[in-house]
Chain A
Amino acid sequence: IMEDATRALGKGSLPPGPVPDGLIRIYSMRFCPYAHRTRLVLRAKGIRHEVININLRNKPEWYYTKHPFGQIPVLENSKCQLIYESVIACEYLDDAYPGRKLYPYDPYERARQKMLLELFYKVPHLTKECLVALRCGRECADLKLALRQEFCNLEEILGYQNTIFFGGDCISMIDYLFWPWFERLDVYGIADCLNHTPALRLWTAAMKQDPTVCALLIDKNIFLGFLNLYFQNNPDAFDYGLPC
């Protein structure tokens, strides 16, 4: 059972109470790739947390007090402090919690991971555009070509570094920040975009061996069920796959 296997809150729902001491809360949605980043970090660092899923097509009125535009993910701690933007939330967790550091200690290596993130910035938009095009019965050869080009850039980095992961020989923050979109390539129907990037394929295989990635892997059939309902504008999409 996934930690976030709870029904999404929508309009008319009661606002949740304050976050208890010793816990941090994440406002999330089970299929959102941005929130997925933050959930990976929570898991990787073993941080005790509670998940409140938000119905993104029918947002609770109170949710705008957590984020001015009602976006996810948002972290809320027991001091009522709110942190948003997925990358900012991930860095906050790495700074605020003890144990395994996901960002390197060395300032140059930290800067390198942030520069790598800049290289990635077109990928979320392109993967989403491909998904929408395919789901709406449009062809997307141009989009796939653009996505392949982005993957070539990432392939070059792995080739130049000669390491398995983007931060070196062990998994680190940058790998978790990239992962959610690669996990979705198959279910979006664009896994063939990796055909010409063998190092990137090796990376995805290595990622699937990571205990944190594994623990949060979304079942393909459940994801497809969500996508079907989502593209039919069904407000129950976000709860697909939850036990009744």
Chain B
Amino acid sequence: MEVHDYLKTLCPDLHITRGEYDEEMRYPETKTLTIGQFKLGLCHGHQVIPWGDLDSLAMLQRQLDVDILVTGHTHQFTAYKHEGGVVINPGSATGAYSSITYDVNPSFVLMDIDGLRVVVYVYELIDGEVKVDKIDFKKTTTASH
């Protein structure tokens, strides 16, 4: 609840899907929403096996019919583009322990959605310094949705 309230102070428009340690049972397993020209999907990712497997995540993306799939669980930042869209894992904001990833660096992602273009800014805390990287994605209009 504390973390939830804190996040709300950052932005009142908050969307949450359930992680395996969340005590709040009412968070949904998946969620979709539209921002600008993009359809986004959210899923924590412990439900998608194998964990972190991009092909399996791409399947979920097709199922949710979204351009951008935001997922987690591995505490490892990844941004993956394939013909169906983009899969983004922002990693762990706190650098929490993960059985999947060794040496977790705290990281988070900001997405700037503008028209048919999305710019992904990833912020990582490596050895006490904040490093920022940028990745561009353009949505092709051939997609029927």
Q: Do chains A and B interact in one complex?
A: no
